[in-house]
C-alpha cells in the first residue's frame, strides 16, 4: 500500500504540484501522448477537482535546447518545463537544468553513462539529478545498491513515487530514501495522455521556470504524492 504523506496543518491548496517525469511524441519514440493532449487532459482533470499545476517533459536520451512550449503552456494555463531522462550504469536518471556543458561532456544517446559522474556534473553545471523509478529492477537505483553496494555519495534525491511502477517497487524506493536520507519526488512517467499527472511532487513555493525548479529541488520543501490526494475538500 502506498504510504501517504501527512500535511499537518497545511492543505493541498498550499502546495504547487508538478509532474516531474513525462514523455511525449515530440522526442520519445515509445510515447503516444502529445504535449497538447497532456494539457487538455490536465484542464479536464482540474474541472473534476484535481490539482495539477504543471509538468516536466523528460524525453528519453535527448535534449533539444531550441524547443519552447511557453505559448501552449500559456494557452492552457499549465506550467510546462523540460528536462531529460538519461541512462546510466545503475539505472535511469532524470536531469533538470540541462545546459550545453552537460551535453558536451556526456553522450546523451548512451545507455550506460557513469552515474556518479552524471550526478556530480549535473550539480556542478547548475542543474539537479534524480534517480528515476528507483524501486524498479535493473533500471532503478535500489537494486544496484542492494546487490552491488553502489555508493550514493553523489545522490541527493530519487523518484520515490512513479506512476508506471507497482506498489512494491514504490515502497522499495521509499525504503531506499528513508535508509539513506534521500529526498523523494513523484512523477507519472506518462507515455500516454491519461497517465499524465498520476503522480506528482508537491512544492511549498510556485515554480514557473527550470531555474526555480532546480532551486526548489536543491533547497526547498517538497514531497511525492498521488493525484487522488489533491482533490480539494469542500
* Residues 54, 17: Cα–Cα separation, whole Å: 7
Distance, in Å, from the CA atom of 77 to the CA atom of 44, rounded to the nearest integer, reads 12
Whether the pLDDT of residue 46 is over 70: the answer is: yes
Predicted local confidence at residue 11, as pLDDT = 77
> Which pLDDT does position 113 carry in this prediction?
98
Question: What is the reported pLDDT for 6?
Answer: 47
- Residues with Cβ within 8 Å of 81's Cβ and at least 6 positions away in sequence, in order, are 18, 54, 55, 56, 57, 96, 207, 209, 210, 213
Q: Give the whole-angstrom CA distance, residue 69 versus residue 46.
A: 20
Model confidence band, residue 218 (pLDDT cutoffs 50, 70, 90): very high
Percent of all residues in the chain with a pLDDT value above 90, rounded to a whole number: 93
Share of the chain above pLDDT 70, in %: 94
Looking at every residue in the chain, the average pLDDT score rounds to 95
- Provide the CATH topology of domain 50-230: TIM Barrel (3.20.20)
Banded pLDDT at 12 (limits 50, 70, 90): confident
pLDDT in the model for residue 1: 35
Which position has the grid cell 487538455? 40
pLDDT tens, residue by residue, 91-119: 999 999 999 999 999 999 999 999 999 99
Query: Cα–Cα distance between 82 and 134 in angstroms, integer?
Result: 20
Strands 16-22 and 79-88, sheet pairing: unpaired
Q: List the chain domain ranges.
A: 50-230
pLDDT tens-place string over residues 132-176: 999 999 999 999 999 999 999 999 999 999 999 999 999 999 999
Structure confidence at residue 10 as a pLDDT band (50, 70, 90): low
Three cell numbers, residue 219: 533547497
Mean pLDDT of 10-24: 91
Euclidean distance between CA atoms 167 and 195, whole angstroms = 16
Say which residue the cell 553523489 belongs to.
154
Amino acid at each position: 500500500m502506498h504510504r501517504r504523506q501527512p500535511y499537518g496543518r497545511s492543505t493541498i491548496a498550499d502546495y504547487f504540484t508538478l509532474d516531474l517525469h513525462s514523455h511525449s511524441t515530440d522526442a520519445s519514440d515509445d510515447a503516444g501522448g502529445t504535449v497538447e493532449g497532456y494539457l487538455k487532459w490536465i484542464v479536464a482533470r482540474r474541472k473534476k477537482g484535481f490539482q495539477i499545476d504543471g509538468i516536466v517533459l523528460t524525453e528519453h536520451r535527448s535534449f533539444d535546447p531550441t524547443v519552447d512550449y511557453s505559448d501552449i503552456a500559456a494557452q492552457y494555463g499549465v506550467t510546462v518545463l523540460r528536462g531529460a531522462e538519461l541512462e546510466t550504469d545503475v539505472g535511469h536518471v532524470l536531469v533538470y537544468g540541462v545546459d550545453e556543458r552537460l551535453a558536451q561532456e556526456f553522450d546523451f544517446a548512451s545507455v550506460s553513462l557513469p552515474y556518479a559522474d552524471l550526478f556530480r556534473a549535473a550539480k556542478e553545471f547548475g542543474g539537479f539529478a534524480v534517480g528515476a523509478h528507483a524501486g524498479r529492477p535493473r533500471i532503478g537505483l535500489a537494486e544496484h545498491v542492494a546487490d552491488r553496494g553502489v555508493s550514493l555519495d553523489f545522490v541527493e534525491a530519487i523518484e520515490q513515487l512513479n506512476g508506471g511502477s507497482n506498489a512494491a517497487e514504490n515502497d522499495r524506493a521509499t525504503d531506499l530514501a528513508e535508509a539513506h536520507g534521500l529526498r523523494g519526488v513523484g512523477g507519472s512517467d506518462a507515455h500516454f495522455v491519461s497517465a499524465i499527472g498520476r503522480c506528482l511532487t508537491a512544492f511549498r513555493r510556485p515554480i514557473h521556470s527550470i531555474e526555480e525548479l532546480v532551486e526548489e529541488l536543491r533547497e526547498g520543501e517538497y514531497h511525492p504524492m498521488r493525484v487522488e490526494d489533491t482533490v480539494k475538500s469542500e
